[in-house]
Amino acid sequence: MENKVWRKELSNHQEFKIGKNCVIHSHTWIGKDVIIGSNVKIESFVFVPDGVRIKDNVFVGPGVVFTNDKYPPSGDKTKWLPTLVKDGASIGANVTIVCGVTIGKRSMIGAGSVVTKNVPDGEVWAGNPAKKLRNNYDEKN
């Protein structure tokens, strides 16, 4: 839990868990029951509610919104669905991630997308709703 960098006075951070060498920019909201791994970068204006798990080496672009309630505002935490972002994933600016999905290891989500389904490891998805564009974003197509 060292080497965290964020401007707490411009953000709302509850009692979440965070790994080493993370950067969380200003104007973010991170809930209580959130776990963030090591080497994660979260840009400004990101909303991360209770129940989100972000593994190591993840990038979250500005304006990303995670949800945890499929039918808000239920207020019933027992109906909230967890979201998982696996190691090395990259999420572009202004993406909305509907609760209950998993973003696969080393996958990429294009800016402005709405993710409503699980994204397999190593795939590039984009659109509204987000759909697979290609495999492995490291390859040039």
Read off the pLDDT of each residue in 19-46 and give the average, rounded to a whole number. Answer: 92
Give the whole-number percent of the chain exceeding pLDDT 70.
85
Confirm if 39 and 22 have CB atoms less than 8 A apart: yes
Residue among 56, 75, 40, 124 nearest 30 (CA) = 40
> If 0-12 CB within 10 Å is exposed, 13-18 middle and 19+ buried, where does residue 15 land?
exposed
Residue among 97, 140, 141 nearest 119 (CA) = 97
Q: How far is CA 138 from CA 87, 109, 135, in A?
A: 15, 13, 9
Which domains does the chain show, CATH number per domain?
5-135 (2.160.10.10)
pLDDT of 99 over the 90 cut: yes
d(CA 21, CA 114): 28
pLDDT of residue 16: 83
pLDDT of 33 over the 60 cut: yes
Q: What is the DSSP letter of 104?
A: P
pLDDT of 5 over the 60 cut: no
Confirm if 61 and 31 have CB atoms less than 8 A apart: no
pLDDT of residue 71: 75
